[in-house]
């Protein structure tokens, strides 16, 4: 993994997205050129409506750009469709959502192993990896519980475990601390940073939470759909 | 995993799932009863109709049925009978001779149908003696006795003990006339026979019409009416006589068979209507279940679930409910059909079908009453699930969750 550190994992080129709201064009992203290298722990900050979420959607292939290109792990994501895109997301991207978005009818273990199940990982291997990641996020004893039986912080830890267990190239997290108190947010971010350091996995956040900004090693500021500042902390 | 996921999903809204399964169960049960009842009633009608007189199979000389005449007859009927006796699938057989003539009692006269029967064989095949409601049946040996239909007796103002005169033209062109003693009155379910028939010993009829050792018809009863076509082939092979026509009851009385089939079809339409109502109920449930989970489908797609996998998930959810309803419906439908097959439902007014009178409707427990509704329920459920399943599969993650 260390040999890969520093290699480009996300590249966007003149990325644009225009929505139409009742016929009126809304320029959400206006030409973003961005390069994220492997192992980064980066936050995209900016006020509401600055285009943070749209940018993450475009990078992950959840949305298609109006113009421009997105490469993820050297693959041109912006031109992928259908099953190719589904499979690419499954194998290369881990998602952490603001509202956790765990599947309520599945247990913690089943939620975490879901992606590996799609990948066809054998049951013993799945169970082993689930136990390992739950141990790292401190939730082994909650393995048989279902999401409604967990606190918000615990659910977000499960979401982190789900995002990381399949060892994707990048973890995309949109406002991961928005529903958590500051103490839980701090603990969660510390845990993610530790995982980033131990695994070399790339983390890209969208957030305006100071706790996230404080812990990020690189902070990109987005204003009106454009990068207005890009700062690497020393 | 998909099964486990689907199973847990349908348990999310227990009450809704319960009512959906109940809707399908009621639909299944109704369809099972409609089919059981239809088959039971029609099989009873067919059995009654064929047992009473028609027989399951008839053997004639070539095109006798199309153009019946005295001269188109079977001259070696005992040989045919021997071969029929050798067939295990042929339960019984009976020879008949037909002729028409002017009949009179005292000053009353009318046209009648003379039917020569072998009392022993006829009783065994059709239970003729049971249809004699007044007096007695024809004796085993020829004695110039006749049994006449109830309506004919009324027309001729005839009573038991009266003398019946018959005038006709014999097969050799001579005048056939003789006197017979009325010894019984027949009251069958066949109105036509009650109005026209004069039954006499086969020997007496052959003698009257100068057709010694000849008959016009041989009826055959089979053990299983559903295998009648199979027995027809066996008889054809056994007789190996191109001059004889072996026909199943469906071809002997085509109009009766067509009426049965048409009535059955119209009852099947009832099942389709029931399933249409079930389908609308299921569509409503599945659509609700899908629409309230669009965000979840968005998450699943974001995580890398293929559209087809989401489509399958919805279909499996519907199939689980469908299978539960089939199991319940099969139990309820079979129980209802079993009860109705034993007790039946007495009609307030009896009705006539192809000259046979019926007053009770009974049901039947058969495989079709389970298989047909099962196929209908599965098809209806799958059909109405297609749209919600496609809708779920096409969920756009960015639109449904906007990353939140």
Which of A53, A114, A144 should be substituted to probe chain B, the one whose Cβ sees the most B Cβ atoms within 10 Å? A114
Q: Are B146 and B116 in contact (CB under 8 A)?
A: no
Q: Is residue B55 part of a domain?
A: no
Q: Does B302 touch chain A (CB under 8 A)?
A: yes
Structural domain spans, chain A: 2-232
Same domain? For B206 and B289 the reply is no
Closest-CA residue to B272 (of B31, B33, B41): B31
Residue B352 has a pLDDT of 64
Q: Is residue B56 part of a domain?
A: no
Please say whether the dihedral angle defined by the alpha carbons of residues A90, A94, A96 and A102, taken in this order, is positive or negative: positive
Residue B403 has a pLDDT of 42
The 3-class secondary structure across A4-60, one letter per residue, is HCCCEEEEEEEEEEEEEECCEEEEEEEEEEEEEECCCEEEEECCCCCCHHHHHHHHH
Closest-CA residue to A169 (of A55, A52, A91): A91
Q: Is residue B174 part of a domain?
A: yes
Averaged pLDDT for residues A174-203: 89
For residue A59, which residues of chain B lie inside 8 Å, CB to CB? none
DSSP character at residue B215: B
For residue A86, which residues of chain B lie inside 8 Å, CB to CB? 301, 304-307
For residue B307, which residues of chain A lie inside 8 Å, CB to CB? 82-83, 86
Give every residue of chain B whose pLDDT is below 70, as ranges.
Answer: 351-358, 401-404
Same domain? For B305 and B393 the reply is yes
Fold adopted by A2-232: Rossmann fold (3.40.50)
> Confidence class of residue A89 from pLDDT cuts 50, 70 and 90?
very high
Same domain? For B81 and B224 the reply is yes
Give the integer Cα–Cα distance in Å for B137 and B129: 6
Q: Are B111 and B101 in contact (CB under 8 A)?
A: yes
Q: A146 or B282: which carries more pLDDT confidence? A: A146
Same domain? For B71 and B35 the reply is no
Closest-CA residue to B370 (of B35, B142, B134, B50): B35
Averaged pLDDT for residues A84-107: 91
Residue B282 has a pLDDT of 83
Averaged pLDDT for residues A207-212: 90
Query: Helix or strand or coil: residue A201?
Result: coil
At A37-80, the pLDDT tens digits run 999 999 999 988 899 999 999 999 999 999 999 999 889 988 88
Which candidate from B1, B303, B308 shows the least CB-CB separation from A95? Answer: B303
Residue ending a domain, choose from B187, B210, B242: B242
Residue ending a domain, choose from B242, B275, B299: B242
Task: Identify the domain containing residue B166 by its residue range.
Answer: 63-242
Q: Are B178 and B144 in contact (CB under 8 A)?
A: yes
Residue A7 has a pLDDT of 87
The total domain count for chain B is: 2
Which candidate from B1, B306, B401 shows the least CB-CB separation from A83? Answer: B306
Give the integer Cα–Cα distance in Å for B233 and B253: 19
Residue ending a domain, choose from B242, B267, B298: B242
Residue A2 has a pLDDT of 44
Closest-CA residue to B101 (of B241, B254, B209, B19): B209
Angle formed at CA B197 by CA B195 and CA B198, multiple of 5 degrees: 135
Same domain? For B28 and B93 the reply is no
């Amino acid at each position: 993994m260390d040999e890969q550190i520093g290699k480009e994992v996300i590249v966007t080129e003149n990325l644009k997205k225009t929505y139409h709201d009742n016929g009126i064009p809304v320029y959400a992203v206006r030409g973003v050129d961005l390069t994220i290298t492997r192992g980064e722990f980066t936050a995209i900050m900016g006020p509401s409506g600055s285009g943070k979420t749209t940018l993450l959607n475009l990078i992950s292939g959840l949305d298609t750009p109006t113009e421009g290109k997105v490469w993820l792990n050297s693959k041109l994501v912006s031109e992928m469709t259908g099953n190719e895109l589904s499979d690419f997301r499954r194998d290369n991207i881990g998602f952490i959502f603001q509202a956790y978005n765990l599947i309520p009818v599945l247990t913690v273990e089943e939620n975490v192993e879901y992606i590996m199940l799609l990948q066809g990982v054998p049951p013993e291997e799945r169970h082993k990896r689930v136990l390992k990641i739950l141990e790292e996020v401190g939730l082994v004893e909650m393995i048989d519980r279902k999401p409604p039986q967990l606190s918000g912080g615990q659910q977000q830890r499960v979401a982190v475990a789900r995002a990381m267990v399949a060892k994707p190239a990048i973890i995309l997290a949109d406002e991961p601390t928005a529903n958590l108190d500051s103490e839980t947010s701090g603990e969660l971010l510390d845990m993610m940073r530790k995982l980033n350091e131990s695994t070399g996995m790339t983390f890209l956040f969208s957030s305006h939470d100071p706790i996230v900004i404080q812990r990020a090693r690189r902070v990109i500021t987005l204003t009106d759909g454009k990068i207005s500042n890009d700062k690497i902390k020393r | 995993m998909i099964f486990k996921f689907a199973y847990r999903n349908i348990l999310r809204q227990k009450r809704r799932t319960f009512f959906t399964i109940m809707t399908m169960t009621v639909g299944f049960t109704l369809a099972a009863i409609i089919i059981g009842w239809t088959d039971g009633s029609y099989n009873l009608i067919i059995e009654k109709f064929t047992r009473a007189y028609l027989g399951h199979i008839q053997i004639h000389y070539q095109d006798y049925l199309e153009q019946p005449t005295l001269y188109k007859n079977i001259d070696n009927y005992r040989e045919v009978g021997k071969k029929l006796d050798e067939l295990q699938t042929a339960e019984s057989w009976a020879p008949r001779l037909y002729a028409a003539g002017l009949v009179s009692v005292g000053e009353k006269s009318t046209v009648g149908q003379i039917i020569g029967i072998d009392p022993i064989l006829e009783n065994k095949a059709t239970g003729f003696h049971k249809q004699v409601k007044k007096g007695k049946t024809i004796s085993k040996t020829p004695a110039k006795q006749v049994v006449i239909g109830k309506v004919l007796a009324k027309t001729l103002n005839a009573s038991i003990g009266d003398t019946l005169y018959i005038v006709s033209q014999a097969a050799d062109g001579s005048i056939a006339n003789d006197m017979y003693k009325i010894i019984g009155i027949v009251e069958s379910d066949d109105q036509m026979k009650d109005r026209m028939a004069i039954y006499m010993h086969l020997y007496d009829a052959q003698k009257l019409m100068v057709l010694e050792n000849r008959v016009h018809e041989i009826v055959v009863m089979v053990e299983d009416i559903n295998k009648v076509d199979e027995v027809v082939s066996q008889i054809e092979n056994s007789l190996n006589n191109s001059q004889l026509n072996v026909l199943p009851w469906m071809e002997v009385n085509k109009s009766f068979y067509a009426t049965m089939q048409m009535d059955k079809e119209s009852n099947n339409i009832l099942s389709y209507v029931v399933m249409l109502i079930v389908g609308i109920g299921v569509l409503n449930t599945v659509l609700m279940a899908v629409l309230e989970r669009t965000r979840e489908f968005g998450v699943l797609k974001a995580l890398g679930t293929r559209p087809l996998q989401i489509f399958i998930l919805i279909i499996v959810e519907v199939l689980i409910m469908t299978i539960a309803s089939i199991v319940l419906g099969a139990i309820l439908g079979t129980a209802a059909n079993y009860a109705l097959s034993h007790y039946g439902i007495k009609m307030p007014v009896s009705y006539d079908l192809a000259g046979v009178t019926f007053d009770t409707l009974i049901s039947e427990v058969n495989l079709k009453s389970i298989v047909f509704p099962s196929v209908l329920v599965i098809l209806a459920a799958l059909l109405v699930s297609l749209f919600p399943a496609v809708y779920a599969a096409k969920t756009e993650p960015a639109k449904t969750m906007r990353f939140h």
